[in-house]
Amino acid sequence: MGYLTDGLTFNVLRQANLKRLPTFKNSKGEPAHSEPDGSDWALSAWSNAVCGELGEAANLIKKIERGDTTLEEAREALGKEFADVVTYLDILAMRAGVDLGVAVVNKFNEVSRRVHSPVRLLNGGSDFYLLPPEEGP
């Protein structure tokens, strides 16, 4: 993760989410969670959070395409919604016992094999590579 950063990793995001969860407050200033790891929310609540943020992004895109604003004007806000999606998705994955980094590497490479693409993510996710032509996609 991170095109113009030093490379935010899934592990760093996970650790930051774990540290922040117990400090999260609702809009009334009350603790948002009774369990420090977010286990007080069902998987459906976390998936609703992911979908809610994706919906906020979709609403912005609707406004761009309707002509209310431009992509340039909305880019920062759109980025914030995408960031909300990724942040909640990490928590959802954690609550589901899924290592998001491993899952993305494995699924990316599975799809590459299926669509006969030579592009693979390196195990560990730190880079990508192309299969040499003799190995075929």
Q: Nearer Cβ to Mg ion, position 82 or 108?
A: 82
φ/ψ of residue 21, rounded to 5: -50, -50
Q: What is the nearest approach in angstroms of Mg ion to the Cβ of residue 38?
A: 17
Give residues 67-106 in contact with Mg ion (rule: CB under 5 A): 81, 84
Q: Nearer Cβ to Mg ion, position 37 or 84?
A: 84
Q: Nearer Cβ to Mg ion, position 53 or 90?
A: 53
In angstroms and rounded to an integer, the radius of gyration of the C-alpha atoms of the chain is 18
Q: What is the nearest approach in angstroms of Mg ion to the Cβ of residue 80?
A: 6
Q: Which residue is nearest to Mg ion (CB)?
A: 84
Interaction pattern, residues 17-56, with Mg ion; x per rule: CB under 5 A: ------------------------------------x--x
Contact (Cβ atoms closer than 8 angstroms) between residue 37 and residue 58: no
Q: Nearer Cβ to Mg ion, position 77 or 119?
A: 77
Q: For the chain, give me the number of helices (H) and strands (E)?
A: 4, 2
* Segment (H or E) for 119: strand 119-121
SS3 at position 128: strand
- Chain centroid, CA 118 distance in Å: 24
Token representation of residue 94: 């954690």
Interface ranges with Mg ion (CB under 5 A): 53, 56, 81, 84
